[in-house]
Each structure stands twice: as structure tokens, then as C-alpha cells.
Structure 1
Amino acid sequence: MTRSAAGGPPGAYAGIDIGGTTTQVVLCTGDLTVLDRAEVPTPAAEGGHAMVGAALAALRPLLDRVPARLLGVGVGAAGVVDARAGRVLAASDSFHAWAGFAVTAAVEAALGVPAFLDNDVNAFLRGEVSKGAVAGESHVLAMTLGTGVGGALWLDGALFDGPRGAAGEIGHVPGFGDTPCSCGGRGHLETLASGRFIAARYARRSGRHTTARGVAAAAGRGDPHALAVFGAAGSAVARAILITAGLVDVTTVVLGGGVSGAWPLLEPSIRTALRADPPVSGAPVRLVRARLGSDAVAIGAASRARTELGAG
């Protein structure tokens, strides 16, 4: 842990991952080793105050159990966020009164320590670069394949989020067909590689309705419709990787999210497509699966707090 200058209790950083279904909370040492963790349901239908309140209620027992002095808090939040202002800008309709909510102000008022906000995919990338599958890498593309598809960029050893916080959002780049996307656009990567669209594409092909996990199970049994859907998803992910490699010369890629749990189905089609049309630089793509699991966003959020406070 980070020792206090006065020789008191060691310092620690909290990381909070506010997702649409659950909220994960971790308490970390200065080197981001998890000391304790908690998981609670996210009261997404009850608004921003309730969501932050649930996270803080989960954190307080951790602080009581661990002999440490809280130095700062990082929050990874679903939706579009203004990381500099600490505010949610937009969120899906599964969240009530979340857009516009001042997250860091609420956390700082409750705990009396500095707080910092990231988009959840950016926090995921921070976590995997700090303690996960791409630890120590200087240039990384992160992709999360879940209900939707998220992306984030790590360039020259730092998160690159762009002037409006939207850099790396490869899930909503067009050119992947003509299917309407959940964001209102058409032909985005999300329409091929996200959980909801994997399930929808399988239903259209087979007439059978199930979840993305159900499609993966069907593919494991040799169902040709399920295999085709996952093959198309993997090929699309590879194309997105190659687009990114051509634009910013990043060839290390970490994949996470629930759909990446079907790694044996996705990986072969991704690697086949990458071999068929390698990056223009000639550098091989290093493709790895995320290592931190459900802790990734929360650890990344704690890493943001540690960095902002000058300890990492």
C-alpha cells in the first residue's frame, strides 16, 4: 500500500464500476493489488443519486474492514461521459436520470477525497494496461464485446480519448453492412459483433430465439447458423483491428466483454482474417484476451485515481 507521509495507515484507492446490471467496487493498494471487493445490483431505474449511493454503500464496509486511508476514488460508468468535468453526458434508456449527472461531485461530497470519472471501456483499458493482459504496453487498442461494442485507445503510454471523449469508439464506425444500429446509425461493427446482434442475426437465420450465450452453445454443438454468425462477428472484429492499425499503427489488441467468453469461436475467424490481410506496416497483430475479468473496469478506475494523484 501507499504509506502516508505522517506514518499513519497506508493509503489505498477505490475503483467503482457502475454497469447497467451490477456495480463492482474494489479497494486497491498503491500497486493496484485488490485488497477487498464487493458487488451489488445497480438501481439503474432509480437515477444517478441512487446509483452512486449504492456504490458508496458497497464501498463503506470495505473501508471498515481494511486498515487503510482512502486517497482517491475512480469511477468507470456506462454511457458517454465528460471525464474532465466528471459528468455523464448520455446513457442508454435502461438508465433513468443518469445523463447529466455529476458523478465526481457526488462522490467527493460523500467521501471527502478526490474522485475521477471515466467511460467504462476507457477504464477497462486502464485496468488491462496496469495489471492485466497488456501490462506495460505503450500502444493498445481495447475492444469490449458485450451488449454493445466499445473501444478505447492507449497511445504513447496514456489513454487517448480525443477532444470530445469519443476516440477509439470502433463499435460505432460505419462500413459493416446496412443493419440499423442501436445508436441510430447503420452498418456499425456493433451490428455484427455485439451480444444483442449476435442473438438477432441467429434468430433471423434459424428462426430460433436465444441469447448470445445460447448461440455460442449452439455453435459448440455444430449448428451451422450459429457458426456462421460467430464467423461473421470474428471477421468484422478483425476488419476493425486492421482499420485501427492502418490509421494509428496500433497492433496490440485486448478483447474483453461477455461475448469474448466465446473465445474458441471468435479467435479462429479473427486470426484467419488478420492473416489474409495483415496491417500495412507489416507488423504482426498481437491479439490477447482480457485477464482481469469483472474487476477490469474497477481496477482501471482506481488506476486513474492513482495516476491523477501523482502516485502512478
Structure 2
Amino acid sequence: MVAGVDIGGTTTQVALCRDDLSVVDRLEVPTPAAAGGAAMVGAALDAVRLLLDRTDARLLGVGVGAAGLVDARAGRILVASDSFRGWAGFAVTATVERALGVPAFLDNDVNAFLRGEAAAGAVAGDPYVLGMTLGTGVGGALWLEGALYDGPHGAAGEIGHVPGFGDLPCTCGGRGHLETLASGRAIAARYGERTGRDLSARDVAGAAGAGDPDALAVYEEAGAGVARAMLVTAGLLDVTTFVIGGGVSRSWALVEQPIRRTLAAEPPVSGHELRVLPAGLGGDAVAVGAAARARAELDPHGSSPASGRVNDENRPSATA
């Protein structure tokens, strides 16, 4: 068995997976983000141990998907948002290996999300995919020729930080990025600008579902922006399959409708229809992707669809 761990800003998801990445058991626990890296990894380790006790399984390795800029080779967090205390610089894999006595591997959470969906989710078996996570921010990752592709500088697939989507300042310091339209933070802020009401993105989704015209307009802008980002990707890379995850995507009907309207009005230059799919693994995607990374590293010549990697550097996360 391999374990996959998804350490997010609010909760930590742990999944125990068979060789085929099917989930044997799973557990969700609060992330003690304010208590520091040792406490955060400690909570994940406790969850792994509980799952092992419940299933009487033999653990072969652990994969961790973590928010932040990570050094995958060193197994360390490089940069983290201010949601986390004592996370930047923390040696994740060394801590896990000492505690459990098995190899451990670290991935950025957006990379892990796409690994999971490409290995056992909505786009399993598809060799060319752009994965997007619409969460607190907007993250992206590329799957090319059946492998994660990060590019020579680790920034390939960062569709959330491509300009051309207005002029609002982005959290990264740039302006007019997709994140200023389609992230949960942006949806809440844009609704507040329209109405003067301070709602969360989830509450804005509820208002849109009830027919609130301002909430619907905010989601229309978000979905149209996501569709334009897809068209850019299709034009540059001829990638025509897209998988969408993250908290905003849980309101899939609100996001999907403006995406499809925009794509119908502006078809890709290739003439090939774009496939746009919601994440198939739901809340398991990052944990299963992290397990897929561990499975591939432990058996690099195996048949796992996630075993291929191209220039596996990692990038800043856009999700909490």
C-alpha cells in the first residue's frame, strides 16, 4: 500500500491506496496551520497510522501534496502563504521518513491534483491535459505525452498568472491575471464591489443559485475568463482536454455554463472541440495524486499511468 497526503490550509486529507491507486480507506483531519510545520505533518502522520491500524496494511511509501512552493527533490517547503506558520523551510519528507520508516516524496498540490486525475480520475489515459484548480487562487499544471511537464523554469501550466484578463492587481504582484477573475477570493471581492456585501465565495455561489443577478454576473465573468484561458492553451499547445478542480469548481453548474457559452462563441483555431471536465476524484484528487507520485518513484518501470515525469520541478500553489 502507498499513502497519499493532501496538506491544505484548513484540512488534511489522507488516503491509503492499492497499487492500482484505488482508495482502501481515507481520513480527513483539521490542519493545525497556525501551530507550525511539525504539528501539521504530525497530524498527517497520526492519520496515516490510524488508517494503517484500521486496515492492517503494510505501508511501502508516502506521497505528500502540499500548498506552497516546494523543492520536490529536497522534500522541503520553500515558500508558503501567510495562512501557514513555520511551514516555509520545513523538511517534509525527512520528517515523514523518520516517523514511518518508508520513503516519502513531496509534490506541489496542483501538480498532485493533475497526477491524480491523470492516473485514476476524469482524464485517466489522456496524454494531453491542462489541469486547473479554482480555489483561493487559480493554479494550473500540464500533462504532456503522459507525463507532468513543468518546463525549464518550473512555471509551465501556470495559467492562473497569465495576463490579459483586465487590470486588477493579482496576489502575485502582477495585474490582470486570470486569478483576479476566477479564484474564490476574486469571486467574493467582485461580488462585494457590486453589492457592498461581504460574502464568502461559497455564499456567493448560493446567492447565484437563488438567482441573484450580481452573483450570476460574477460567475459569468469567472467562467468566461477560464474559457479564454483554455482557448489560449489550445492555440499554443493544441491541448484540447481540461480538468477543473478546487473549491470554486464545486459549484460546477455556475462555472460550466459560461465556459461553454464562451467556447461556443469562440471555437479553437484547430476546429477540434474542447473537452472540459470536472475533477473525477473530488476531494481525493490531491491525495491520490501524491500516492501516484510515490507509487511511480517506488516502481519507476511499472505500468502506473502516473509513472512518467518530465522536468519535475514544482511551482507555487494557488490553493489553500
Whether TM exceeds 0.5 here: the answer is yes
2:86 equivalent to 1:97: yes
Which residue number in structure 2 is paired with residue 256 of structure 1?
Answer: 245
Which residue number in structure 2 is paired with residue 87 of structure 1?
Answer: 76
8 A contact 1:83–1:165 mirrored in 2: no
Which residue number in structure 2 is paired with residue 24 of structure 1?
Answer: 13
Which residue number in structure 2 is paired with residue 6 of structure 1?
Answer: none
Q: Choose between structure 1 and 2 for higher RCO, CA contacts under 8 A separated by at least 6 residues.
A: 2
2:174 equivalent to 1:213: no
**C-alpha distance in 2, partners of 1:37/1:273?**
38
SS at match of 1:282: coil
Which residue number in structure 2 is paired with residue 149 of structure 1?
Answer: 138
Which residue number in structure 1 is paired with residue 235 of structure 2?
Answer: 246
Superposition pairs for residues 154-193 of structure 1, below 5 Å? 154-193=143-182
Using the aligned pairs only, state the percent identity: 73
Which residue number in structure 2 is paired with residue 46 of structure 1?
Answer: 35
**C-alpha distance in 1, partners of 2:164/2:35?**
37
Displacement over 3 Å in runs of 4+? none
**C-alpha distance in 1, partners of 2:214/2:289?**
37
**C-alpha distance in 2, partners of 1:46/1:247?**
43
Provide the TM-score with structure 2 as the length reference: 0.91
Deviations 1:76-107 (Å, cap 9, x if unpaired)?
Answer: 00011122221111111111121121211111
In the comparison of the two structures, how many residue pairs are matched?
301
Which residue number in structure 1 is paired with residue 295 of structure 2?
Answer: 306
Q: Residue type of the partner of 1:266? A: V
**C-alpha distance in 2, partners of 1:20/1:173?**
24
2:261 equivalent to 1:272: yes
Shift of 1:172: 1.3
Which residue number in structure 1 is paired with residue 188 of structure 2?
Answer: 199
Shift of 1:279: 1.8
Q: Which runs of 5+ in 2 are unaligned?
A: 305-320
**C-alpha distance in 2, partners of 1:246/1:99?**
37
Which residue number in structure 2 is paired with residue 233 of structure 1?
Answer: 222
- 70-79 vs 38-47, which moves further: 38-47
Backbone CA RMSD of aligned residues: 1.2
Q: Which runs of 5+ in 1 are unaligned?
A: 1-11
Shift of 1:15: 0.2
Provide the TM-score with structure 1 as the length reference: 0.94
**C-alpha distance in 2, partners of 1:181/1:226?**
21
Which residue number in structure 2 is paired with residue 136 of structure 1?
Answer: 125
Which residue number in structure 1 is paired with residue 64 of structure 2?
Answer: 75
Shift of 1:170: 0.8
